Amino acid sequence: MKNKILFFLSLAVIITLVSCNKNNGVEIDYEYYTDADYQMMSQYLDIPPVPMGYEDKFPDYYGVGNRTYNRDLATLGRVLFYDKNLSDDRTISCASCHRQDIGFSDDVAFSDGVNGRKTTRNSLALGSVFSFNEYYGSAIIGRVPFFWDNRASSVQEQSKATLGNPDEMNMAMHEVLDRVKEQPYYRPLFEKAYGHDVQDEQEILDAISIFVNSIGSFNSKYDQAVDQYLNSNNGSLSGINSSDLSKLSAVENKGRKLFVANCSSCHGNIEEGVAAPGLIQANNGLEMVYEDDGIGNGMFKVPTLRNVEKTGPYMHDGRFATLEDVVDHYNEGIVNHSHLSTQLKVGNQPKRMNMNNQEKAALVTFLKTYTDQEFLSAKKYSDPFKL
Which positions lie near ligand HEC, rule CB under 6 A?
A: 81, 92, 94, 96-98, 111, 113, 119, 121, 123-126, 129, 146-148, 155, 158-159, 162-163, 168-169, 208, 212, 262-263, 265-267, 279, 282, 284, 286, 300-303, 305, 308, 311, 314-316, 326-327, 330, 341, 343-344, 363
C-alpha 47/C-alpha 116 separation (Å) is: 31
Amino acid at 351: K
The amino acid occupying position 106 is: D
Taking the least distance from each CB to ligand HEC, the nearer of 37 and 168 is: 168
**Residue 377 CB, nearest approach to ligand HEC (Å):** 20
CB of 338 to ligand HEC, least distance (A): 14
Complex with ligand HEC: residue 92 or 230, whichever CB lies closer: 92
Instruction: Confirm if 126 and 267 have CB atoms less than 8 A apart.
Output: no
Q: Which is nearer to ligand HEC, 37 or 98 (CB)?
A: 98
User: Could you tell me how far CA 325 lies from the centroid of its own chain?
Assistant: 24
- Contact residues for 43 (Cβ-Cβ < 8 A; gap 6+): 386
* For ligand HEC, the closer CB: 37 or 252: 252
Phi (first) and psi of residue 31, to 5 degrees = -110, 50
CB 215 within 8 A of CB 221: no
Least CB distance to ligand HEC at residue 18 (A): 41
Tell me whether residue 148 or residue 222 sits nearer to ligand HEC (CB atom): 148
Nearer to ligand HEC, 189 or 230 (CB): 189
Give the separation between CA 269 and CA 305, rounded to whole angstroms.
11
Residue with Cβ nearer ligand HEC (61 or 81): 81
Distance CA 180, CA 40 (A): 16
Q: Which residues contact 48 (CB under 8 A, 6 or more apart)?
A: none
Q: Residue 298: which of 158, 149, 151 has the closest Cα?
A: 149
Cα 114 from Cα 107, distance rounded (Å): 17
Which residue's CB is nearer to ligand HEC, number 45 or number 92?
92
**Least Å from the CB of residue 372 to ligand HEC:** 15
User: Which C-beta is closer to ligand HEC: that of 40 or that of 279?
Assistant: 279
Q: How far is the CB of 195 from ligand HEC (least distance, A)?
A: 24
Taking the complex as a whole, how short is the minimal distance between the CB of residue 209 and ligand HEC, in angstroms?
8
The CA distance from 266 to 291, in Å, is 23
Torsion sign over Cα 101, 259, 216, 245? positive
Query: Nearer Cβ to ligand HEC, position 32 or 143?
Result: 143
Q: How far is the CB of 52 from ligand HEC (least distance, A)?
A: 19
CB of 40 to ligand HEC, least distance (A): 25
CB 327 within 8 A of CB 356: no
- Distance of closest approach, residue 374 Cβ to ligand HEC, in angstroms: 20
Distance CA 53, CA 74 (A): 9
- The dihedrals phi and psi of 57, each to the nearest 5 degrees, come to -100, 100
Shortest distance, position 15 Cβ to ligand HEC, whole Å: 45
Is the Cβ–Cβ distance between 226 and 239 less than 8 Å?
Answer: no
Distance CA 252, CA 47 (A): 39
